[in-house]
Amino acid sequence: MSSLAAAEVNAGLRGGRTLIVQSHFDYETQALLYVPQHLPDPRNPAFSKLASSEVAQLLKLSQGRAFVLFTSYQQMRLMYDRIPLDLEYPTLLQGTGPRNALLEEFRSTPNCVLFATSSFWQGVDVPGDQLSCVIIDRLPFAVPSDPIVDARVQKLRNEGGNPFYDYQVPQAAIALKQGFGRLIRSRSDRGVLVLLDNRVTKQRYGQIFFDSLPDYGFTTKITDVERFFNV
């Protein structure tokens, strides 16, 4: 199922008219997607420690100027607490102040880093160099225990569909695309999108995520990230 079809299911529509308008951004030169291959599965207990070290290294390369986005508050706080105290850039943590106040402080504070969850994945506009890196901890699958998600999964299953491929993966692909959209907000923006969850390169469904994103540079090497920021 395509992302558009998944959106129709999510809205309760069938056979709706759609229009795809090509972006005027040059994503291939403006954006780089980095997926590190050495990290364990996000469900592995060792993930947080190793991922926090990767995040710290990335923030040094980007000189702060980053959103670090999480699929859960628990993971956000766990990784925030693991970030080295000697990180030289100012940090903000969702939950320590009103959302709008945190966003305004991020915009006005040079080299700032914001640790946040899903509410910062969409509807946030920070054009320019102030936001040059978006780091996402894992593929943004909806929580299965959510009553709405559970109801839609059950409905698809009762209709003979495959809830994972027909609903959960396309919905997560849309969410990842929204995270990508935080990064490039004008023709002069440049930045790196980091997905710490390398299941996207190892599982068959990963291609659905890749296909949902605009054309972009892609790498599995942090040296390419360093080179991108040094241009």
Q: According to the model, what pLDDT value does residue 180 have? A: 73
Q: Could you give the domains of the chain?
A: 27-139+179-230 (3.40.50.300)
- Give the torsion through C-alpha atoms of 33, 25, 21, 137, to 10 deg: 20
Q: What is the pLDDT along the chain (231 residues), one digit of tens a residue?
A: 444 455 455 555 566 665 444 555 656 668 899 999 999 999 999 999 999 999 999 999 999 999 999 988 899 999 999 887 678 899 999 999 898 899 999 999 999 999 998 777 766 778 778 889 999 999 988 777 778 888 888 888 888 888 888 888 988 888 888 777 777 666 777 889 999 999 999 999 999 998 888 778 899 999 999 999 998
pTM of the model: 0.83
**According to the model, what pLDDT value does residue 214 have?**
78
At residue 21, the pLDDT reads 47
How many helices (H) does the chain have, and how many strands (E)?
11, 7
Q: How far apart are CA 180 and CA 124, in angstroms?
A: 11
Q: Tell me what pLDDT residue 47 has.
A: 94
Phi–psi pair at 191, nearest 5 degrees? -175, 170
